[in-house]
Amino acid sequence: MQDLKLFSGNANVALARSVAAYLDIEIGSAEVGTFSDGECAIEIGENVRGLDCFALQSTCAPQNTHLMELLIMVDALKRASARRITAVIPYYGYARQDRKVRPRVPITAKLCADLIQTAGADRLLCMDLHSGQIQGFFNIPVDNLYSTRLMLDAIERRIGSDVTVVSPDAGGTERARAYAKRLGANLAIIDKRREVANVAEVMNIIGDVQGQTCIIVDDMVDTAGTLCEAARSLIDEGATAVHAAITHPVLSGPALKRIAESPLDQVIVADTIPLRPDAVDMGKLHVVSIAAPIGEAIRRINNEESVSSLF
């Protein structure tokens, strides 16, 4: 690896350490804290002039704080004459605000893209963007990795391949079809209608789930309303067991309570967002690490090798 430096904000230090271990390097020296008035205070603690720098930071809750940490860290690296700066954002916050769903609302995912570029990032590395079109918000190279291989390995190891893959809505059909194809499994789709934000009403199931072990796949779980209603509907339609494989464990509001009280046997998630202690203790969540694909992508970018085979 040529002149590579990995820095981390406060959002996901454990993942940064795992990525550094994969690369067999130390995390770069940086002070990431706050001033007495609450403003972000960041200082790079070593020389980065002419180096290939990677700033790892998920923009998860508290989103605004973590986004500002990332922007200020990128700016600090730029002003310290880093040769190239890659923003490594395993979970891209504000991704669901990627279009105007009604008049007089912003497209915040595009605003975040503009901020990241203005701060000085030369490229972006992320995982399972909520919508692939977000890559078009950037005028710099974007590598969007997928957790599919990791999730499939976990599914086969913990559940087996004799399952029916379920998309919780029509929008996730492409993802569910990819899982079903790799597993040689049947596919089902849940038709739902969302009347208000964070409240989902499951309508009907397209596909046969009678007597099946079902695995719901999605890119993120937020308040878990959709997920838990989907699980109940599958059980009502005769499924014998319901599991889930979901990349980003946002788990806001009543999510943990809903999952605990739902018929879900387990929820496999990635470590793009660190779990709260109560989430770890609940017993239904199983975490798979994305350190290897993120670390390998960083290695290839640093060596000017192709990253596409990781997709």
Residues known to be catalytic: 192
Map residue 261 onto helix, strand or coil. Answer: helix
From residue 72, give the alpha-carbon distance in Å to each of 5, 66, 108, 138, 293: 17, 10, 19, 19, 26
Q: Within a 10 A sphere around the Cβ of 310, how many other Cβ atoms?
A: 15
Instruction: Name residues whose C-beta falls within 8 Å of residue 273's C-beta, 6 or more positions apart in sequence.
Output: 12, 58, 60, 90, 91, 248, 249, 250, 251
Long-range CB contact pairs, 27-35, < 8 A, 24+: 28/53, 30/73, 30/76, 32/8, 32/69, 32/73
* Beta carbons of 31 and 45 less than 8 angstroms apart: yes
Residue 202 tokens read as: 């499951």
Interatomic CA distance for residues 259 and 267, integer angstroms = 9
DSSP state of 27: B
Structure tokens of 175?
């993802």
Q: Which pair of tokens denotes residue 152?
A: 């499939």
Distance, first Cα to last Cα, the chain: 21
Residue with tokens 């790799």: 182
Within 80-193, residue ranges assigned H as helices are 108-119, 148-158, 173-183
30-34 and 40-44 strand pairing: antiparallel
Q: Which two tokens stand for residue 188?
A: 């089902």
